[in-house]
Structure 1
Amino acid sequence: MLAVTDLASQVSGPVYVPGDDGFDAEIAAWNLATAHRPLVAVGAADAADVAAAVGWAAERGLPVAVQATGHGAVAAAIGGVLVNTSRLDEVTVDPATRTARVGAGVKWARVIEAAAPYGLAPLSGSSSDVGAVGYTVGGGLGLLARRYGYAADHVRGLRIVTADGQLRDVDADEHPDLFWAVRGGKGNFGIVTSIEIDLVPVATLYAGGIFYPGAVAADVLHAYRAWTSSLPDETTTSVAILRLPPLPELPEPLRGQTVVHLRFIHAGDADVTRADVLSRLPAEVRTRYRDEWRPRYDAWAAALWGE
């Protein structure tokens, strides 16, 4: 067991070792298939805590892992130090420059809500419940990708703690190679504590999803390929094959079924109609289980593939 008194004296957030009250909650991932087993867990209260934790680990030759919301937990952290950045919850919007400063613990819902009153939106993904920073530094192919591309390409700057425990401000002019690498390299180049991102104008959008039975997946996928080639840049789509759980809150036709979910969002002219997009679908796949197409006039809030 490591003696962590010296680490605890360097940080303002909590420090836990296995057996401590709070340890299990600190390391728990949203993805329940992943079970972390670090030697030490640090609940960073600010960027300085992150730097102290990484520096402490580096001095002892310990590996470091990072987690905020836990949605991206695909590999368990075994041994070493797990730094939890969920307390870094800064969100500030500058409507004049169309930018937002976002802390590593912030989920997209808060950024969406903060930007919407100005008719602006972040380049978030299909769920507002995931971490904005982890999503963005992983690339970020989201709801407006056809029009604006990857979210990572709209990062203006970031603060990152590198493996030597140094906190660095990084942008196209300061540490440009690191700036290039981390936008898509996710956590491999350090722990990002905050990012400054572009916001884009979104006054009106339409979004929806159509469910098809899994048995017709081949027909839908072939139709989807042809359909997407005919759509304008203002329309972004995705398709997924899902095995839905038998939960009572799901509609009866979908409960416990394998389905194909076709999702689309249109952020073009306000007078667009459902037929403008859906009429381009081949006739053989227009029959739908469930149609959730609807307009949104609240500059993005809750319009996430109609889900």
Structure 2
Amino acid sequence: MDGKNQSMVTEFLLLGFGNLHNLRIVIFIFFLIIHIMALTSNIFVVVLVGVTQSLHSPMYFFLSQLSLSEILFTSNIVPNMLWLILVGEGRLPVSRCLSQFYLLSVPSIAQCFVLAAMSFDRNVAICRPLHYVSIMTFTHQLWMVTSCWLLGFTFPLSVYVFLSKLEFCCLNVINHFFCDIAPLLRLSCSSTSSVQLVTAVVSFPVLLIPFIIIIVTYISIIRTILKISSSTGRHKAFSTCSSHLIVVCVYYGTLSSIYIFPPRDNSINLNKGMSVLYTLVTPLFNPLIYSLRNQDIKCAIWKYFKTLKLWEKP
């Protein structure tokens, strides 16, 4: 028993991006700039929706929750990733590694359901415009958002509990820049069958239910748009949900490339690259899509900075 206890792993060694030689400073600065931009833009969206009366509608309320999930997600992963770039590799206690996985899962799962809620909102707005106000009441919005976050906190909790019961001995090297479930299962020296079963049971509703809701609502949206006689009306209807559709495609595309159809073990660098896209670039991409493609947000941004007198209209 004593020999076993002495061999038990108490911390993991994260290899990060390996030896970057002279490029580490350049990459660090580049990633830091992207992270600051992503964090600032998402915080700005949350604040803008909160203080702008014209944006107090269901669509923008859900958008603020989407930005909030991105803030929590990047704040959990990126600072440690930047540190690993500078030092080359780093050690993380087992308990903190498991906590990082849980805190990574919460906003990711919540975001899946928020995207589904946004698609439902767009469906009601386009397919049942006369009933929109009565259906999408503030109470209904609050209930939907609360459910999204409760599911985000609840679903990964069971996986976290089973992960915390695993034993790690001898091997402690994780060839990545954050603690994900796949390398943790590979390093465990105890049976992982229960964790894999719980993960499969949890992943099924988390991925499938929001995806089905999004597909069904957009089929209904497209059918309704095609029935509109004027091309101007069709364009206006589609423009109200195009930003959301782009975000859904980007989010599920990167998510599936990492978890559903992951690269093989000999393509670990490709997996890291996709993870960088998922953790660093996508959080910046989302607010930019909505800001550049949405006239209401453009006007709100202009009025906000005009109120602050940061510049004067020429």
Structure scoring higher RCO (CA < 8 A, sep ≥ 6) equals 2
The normalised TM-score by structure 2 is: 0.22
The normalised TM-score by structure 1 is: 0.23
Structure showing the higher strand proportion among its residues: 1
Structure showing the higher helix proportion among its residues: 2
